[in-house]
Structure 1
Amino acid sequence: MNDEAPDEVFFREWARRGPGERRSVTRAREVAAALDVLGQGPPVLTVVGSKGKGTAATYASATLGAAGLRVCTVTSPGLRSNRERIRLDGEAVSEAELRSLAKRVEQAVEGLPEGRDGYLSPAGLFLLAGVLHARDAAADALVLEAGMGGRSDEVALFPADVVAITPVFGEHLGVLGDTPAEIAAEKAGVVAPGTTRAVLSAPQSGPVARALPAATEYATGTGLPPRLLPDGLTRPSAALGVTAASRLLDLRGLPRPSAERLDAVLSTVALPGRLSCHALPGTSTEVLADAAIDRTGVSAALTAAHARWDGIDHVLLCLPDHKDLEGAVAALAGLPVTYVRLPYDHLAFTRPLPAAWRVTGSESLTRESVAALGRRVLALGTVYFVGLVLDLADAPTGVTWTSRPASGSGA
């Protein structure tokens, strides 16, 4: 690694991938074997789905933490830093810890046989680093978020005690499947006969529900006070996370946390970038940021903004071609919008836009340029974009929950 940033190790093969080259879960398994993280380990709760996976993983982890378990959580992507992909008891790994993990992953990759049948994906390598970190820290439980798929994702390398399925819809059509039902079947492919002991799902549409395993149970409520769960579209995923974690505790014969303890820990949960409001330092502007990627999500964010403010001065929107741009256009009709393009080769921004919209590149976003849009700015779109906005706001993203409520939080 020399003086390279630790992130480079995880993105190296992805950055050099050839046209049409796919990621290789087979090679990821070889790296996992070299790291000695396959086989017996702490119980695993795996989260798959199209939307709300990070929320479900966060609430599942916090519930397990409230029960006294040491919990390692691996999610994707990070917001302000790739350190946030790997957390221990809600706190992102340090730069030194990530560097150490990256060095060991790099050594394992260098030991692979010559030739390759696909590249090692960044999300997959971060997942392996997270599992390695869990082993180092003697974690009592692992909560893993799938990157995009299920059967075809690296999370399938680690048989789950419990699988939680968040809402599934037609994202990645033509990649994971040609219909939402086919996508659901691929994601549910992480369920391995004889290894998974419980499959829980948020409410799904009829076609998606029929594509899920017959033994799937639906999480429709937690009995928790509404104040302990987030508002908006993320609430079902949060409830799913709590229910899935409770089931894992039951399966392992471990006591659930008391109502008072669960209340104390869930009260510390922070979900930056999910209907979160942030003051822009040095300005009078407040930004409401949300990773909304379809018409329903944009509409929910508008409702939250109108509940908080008496008006919206401007909307920043970043939706690549594979997201629901048409739905966002319809929902944002009549509002001043600036469409933001990201400089990433794997994201296309080629679709036609309303003539009244401004268009800019993410490199032009500064605190000053955002503040010039008004005092009430709504920022919506892909997680990569929301992360940039949170960076401008210097939002705390390092801690998503704590089992020590009095200890505060950090960035």
Structure 2
Amino acid sequence: MMTDEGDAAFFYDEWGRRRPGDGRDLRRAALLADTLGLPGIPDLPALTVVGSKGKGTAATYASAWLVAAGCRVVTVTSPGLRRDSDRIRLDGTAISERELAGLGRRLRDAARSLPPRGAGYLSPSGLFTLAGLLYARDAGADVVVLEAGMGGASDEVSLVPPTVVAIAQVFGEHLGVLGDTPAEIAADKAGVVSELTRAVVSLPQTPDVAAAIEATVAGRTGRPVELSGLPGSSEASEISALSGPSALSGPHRPNALLGCTAARRLLQVTGRPAADAARTAEVLASVRLPGRVSWHTIPGATLLVDSAVEGNGAAAALAEAYRRWDRIDHVLVCLPDHKDLEGVLAALGGLPVTTVRMPDRESLRFTRTRDGLDIADLTPGRLASFGERIVVLGTVYFTGRVLDLVGADTTRLFAG
């Protein structure tokens, strides 16, 4: 029998053996889902979150809202904050490493019946999605909240017919992969909807992206969809009133509102009772999002860590830093080639910046920052050497490493 570590490694097995030009194999992933009896779990509605940025925030707040309403909720996010077991949570709390290994063992055993792989592979994010569904079935969950890894129709979350879809902001990330324009990318992300989808909630989008979403949803569901005017809608105001004065404040308010609105819609369309205002305010006020404008202290320095990958996000993180500080000593930035490095650097203005590379992440390219600091050389002491007040920005893979360095608690995201 394999060790727990070996069982957990199965999530990366085929991805680690991929060849140039290989892509994720949705057909074999669907066969694996069928072998496991997934996703046809009776009476288990799914809330699926897609978009270019803010999906994790929306998924967390959606989960918190549903838990406040008395639901037993399994949440699957991508990637994990510090470790892979963070990807699957029950009522906001991450599963254990042993539980993850057990899920990996079951997936590995079921995968033995699949046809041989061709020019494709079972992707890690897709396998974690299936593992989350297995866990939801075992745990007797009432609802699953699924965060798409990259796309929508092209992502394994599309194997699960969503009851409600939440669409965060869509912009030109993954150009040439999901599409050649932001509108094409939006069509892929919105393509997660099915004829079983009962509601679609979206943040405001650019006109071309909004048109692509509307056309895709109408084509797949056979009915038009009205894109919500969050965060300025009357529904958003009502949700804010229920949540308490500070629960949905800060730079990530739009994505938090998106998650809460989508969760509220799911309760409505499935006929489930809503939580009372006091319980909702209590649970939402307890939400903590490490790596999303989160504050951390190490000997000699305080860090603001945020997974900003474009200029607007970086500007919002800086504004939050200046609410507490009168100066910023240094900014660490880690953005691979497909992220908006130029926009982030422009937002930082004349602040001292050090770029960081992650050469051990084979899927990420850092050709624009070849002279940057290697992630392996980053230690708590090296962090403190940059000054007393440090802002850390970059992809979630990077901020996850920093959270690990500072010993951030990522096990529990809210009080269930």
- Provide TM-score, normalisation by structure 2: 0.92
* 1:246 alignment counterpart: 264
Q: Aligned-pair distance for 1:226?
A: 4.2
Q: Aligned-pair distance for 1:222?
A: 4.2
Q: Aligned-pair distance for 1:5?
A: 4.1
Contact preservation (8 Å) 1:228, 1:266: yes
Aligned positions of 1:243-282 closer than 5 A: 243-280=261-298
* 2:403 alignment counterpart: 390
* 2:41 alignment counterpart: 40
* 2:367 alignment counterpart: 350
* 2:206 alignment counterpart: 205
Aligned-partner residue type, residue 227 of structure 2: E
The match for 1:295 among 306, 311, 327 is 311
The match for 1:229 among 234, 248, 253 is 248
CA distance in 2, matches of 1:34, 1:216: 37
Contact preservation (8 Å) 2:49, 2:166: yes
Q: Aligned-pair distance for 1:96?
A: 1.4
SS at match of 1:216: coil
Structure 1, residues 341-371: CA drift from partner, whole Å, max 9, x if none? 0021211111268xxxx72100000011111
Where in structure 2 are there 5+ consecutive unaligned residues? 215-223
SS at match of 2:166: strand
SS at match of 2:58: helix
CA distance in 1, matches of 2:332, 2:402: 10
CA distance in 2, matches of 1:147, 1:8: 19
SS at match of 2:137: helix
Aligned-partner residue type, residue 246 of structure 2: R
Contact preservation (8 Å) 2:314, 2:347: yes
Q: Aligned-pair distance for 1:40?
A: 3.4
SS at match of 1:288: strand
SS at match of 1:212: helix
Contact preservation (8 Å) 2:51, 2:167: yes
* 1:402 alignment counterpart: 415
* 1:330 alignment counterpart: 346
CA distance in 2, matches of 1:217, 1:250: 17
Contact preservation (8 Å) 1:198, 1:216: no
Aligned-partner residue type, residue 401 of structure 2: L
CA distance in 2, matches of 1:318, 1:230: 26
Aligned positions of 1:31-110 closer than 5 A: 31-41=32-42, 42-110=44-112
SS at match of 1:351: helix
Question: Runs of 4+ in structure 1 displaced over 6 angstroms?
Answer: none
Aligned-partner residue type, residue 289 of structure 1: V
Structure 1, residues 10-46: CA drift from partner, whole Å, max 9, x if none? 0111011010001011110111111112223311111
Where in structure 1 are there 5+ consecutive unaligned residues? 404-411
Q: Aligned-pair distance for 1:7?
A: 3.2
Contact preservation (8 Å) 1:84, 1:93: yes
CA distance in 1, matches of 2:237, 2:254: 10
* 1:215 alignment counterpart: 225
SS at match of 1:72: strand
Q: Pick closer, same or farther for the CA change 1:352–1:388 going to 2, 3 Å.
A: closer
Aligned-partner residue type, residue 17 of structure 1: R
Report which stretch shifted further, 297-306 or 329-338: 329-338
Q: Pick closer, same or farther for the CA change 1:200–1:351 going to 2, 3 Å.
A: same
* 2:219 alignment counterpart: none
Aligned-partner residue type, residue 215 of structure 1: V
CA distance in 2, matches of 1:115, 1:309: 54
Contact preservation (8 Å) 1:169, 1:180: yes
Aligned positions of 1:310-329 closer than 5 A: 310-329=326-345
* 2:2 alignment counterpart: 2
Query: Aligned pair 1:309/2:309, yes or no?
Result: no
Structure 1, residues 113-161: CA drift from partner, whole Å, max 9, x if none? 2343410000000000000000000000000111101011111111011
Aligned positions of 1:363-378 closer than 5 A: 363-378=376-391
Q: Aligned-pair distance for 1:334?
A: 1.5
CA distance in 1, matches of 2:171, 2:311: 13
Give the share of equivalent positions with the same residue, in percent: 55
SS at match of 2:382: helix
Query: Aligned pair 1:120/2:122, yes or no?
Result: yes
Q: Pick closer, same or farther for the CA change 1:352–1:118 going to 2, 3 Å.
A: closer
SS at match of 1:326: helix
Contact preservation (8 Å) 2:65, 2:260: yes
Query: Aligned pair 1:380/2:393, yes or no?
Result: yes
* 2:197 alignment counterpart: 196
Contact preservation (8 Å) 1:278, 1:393: yes
The match for 1:169 among 155, 168, 171 is 171
SS at match of 1:261: helix
Structure 1, residues 293-335: CA drift from partner, whole Å, max 9, x if none? 0111111111111111111111111011111111122122321
CA distance in 1, matches of 2:412, 2:237: 24
Aligned-partner residue type, residue 349 of structure 1: F
